Structure 1
Amino acid sequence: MTRRIMAVDRIALAVAALMVALAVVGPLLAPHDPYAVDLADALQGPSAAHWFGTDVNGRDVLSRILYGAQVTLPATVIVIAAATLIGTLVGTVAALGGKALDEVLMRITDIGLSLPSIILALGLAAALGSGLRSAVVALALTWWPGYARLVRTLVREVKDAEYVDAARTLGVSRARLVFRHILPNALNSLYVQTTLDVSAVMLVISGLSFVGVGAQVPSAEWGAMIAAAANNLTNGWWAVAFPGLAIMLTAVAFNLVGDWLRVRNDPTIREGVR
């Protein structure tokens, strides 16, 4: 059982690493121009010339997927980085700023958590104007409450630890106490959550592009590719299936990597797996 789990973890790590690598060097590997329209080759099935076929405009689907990795994955990373920064700031201030400030910030956080992120992001993205940049900004502004709640809990657990009390007794400044002793130890578990969130954020970004408020056609973003090919599903299934497969593989891989990190980080779970 343990060997089987380890094999799955290795595969997930390999797939996640491959997708990250494609986001860096994908365009160099693309066999065709992803934006070159050739109506004579429209909706050609998978072949030696076009491994993943062509879309309704004759563009090579494989090349567009490789280019799309440089759109979808960086957008996902930007959302998570921004949401983590905002959430860490709010959570830390709430945990260390006194009861009144804690109550105000946590009530705001609870309001954000009570509303579905995708609905909020959809409304904000529509208000900001269609486009991938608007979708990224909207999603970052709606994703931070979960991190704020998590960071507040972690900081509250660490701030009363013995080594923190010892540093406080020695006269360490408040800023040094927070940034040198509390945050580094409190946030050790945060990277697990950010890894788990890669799949969720990527699915939402692709979903926003699919409904028309994210990346716009003819962008090679994976969700926009599916939206552009949805009307030709019966006679061009490959133009939908392969971008969808790229999204699915990436999401599942990062989710499994996050689970693996969580198991490694929690001794009680690790013992249960054994």
Structure 2
Amino acid sequence: MPEIVVTTPSDGEGKVNEALHFALEHCGATEIYRVGGAQAIGVLAHGTETVKPVQKIFGPGNAYVVEAKRQVFGHVAIDLLPGPSEILVLADASAEAAWVAADLLAQAEHGKGSSILFVTNSSKLLKDVEKKIEQQLQTLSRQEHLAGVLENGCTLILVKSLQDGIEIANDFAPEHIAIIAKDEDKIAARIHTAGAIFLGGYSPVAAGDFLAGPSHTLPTGGAGKAFPGLTVDMFQRRTSLVNFDAKSLKKSLQTIAKFSEIEGLDAHGRSAAIRFE
């Protein structure tokens, strides 16, 4: 029987959130432990007197959780080492400035270390988005988180053409990219490094986070150039089945012998040849 172990911090009364508890049971969790943070990673990786060690660890967390995952990588499998949230919005003049500003601020409210980038070939849109960010900022609650990102992690870029924007996006490899342009499908086909791609003005990143279904654990910090987001196949283990018969092995002896000779591994070649002596 598959075992799905979940760790989650408890509330002030030592209980697991009821809605979360229901969701975990619905998803097939077999064990739930009230522990969070880096210590949860240690518990899952190494086990305790009451918790058996697991084989794979998945799920996002803060910087301490990510560092803990890095340290246990190899001892157990992990999904990614995701950092702070990132979004790049690539848009032409057809985009609605207020919507772009809202998408940027949505990721900015994650706080410290988050990056929000806006790239456009329209100077008017860039100025309008800047104004809308200032206006919408006043209506939001996480002022401390937002202020830090807007000061240190916000970049608005005017490019000559969207082709320049595509190059910037592929080089930055954002966690999320939102493309709002007349040729958004063609542009998306040329984006090769993003964790997730959101097309059109009616596809806010929040819809992907909470409802649409793609992974919410995505590569950041440029890792999208090499790694995808968390996918179902990462929960599986794969192996290979090799089955030669006598005829096929005998036909392969010369190739095996040559590789063994080149690599100086005569026992390798002998292990195949001995079957026909």
TM-score (norm 1): 0.26
The structure with the largest helix share of the pair is: 1
* Higher radius of gyration, 1 or 2: 2
Bigger RCO of structures 1 and 2 (CA < 8 A, at least 6 apart)? 1
TM-score (norm 2): 0.26
The structure with the largest strand share of the pair is: 2
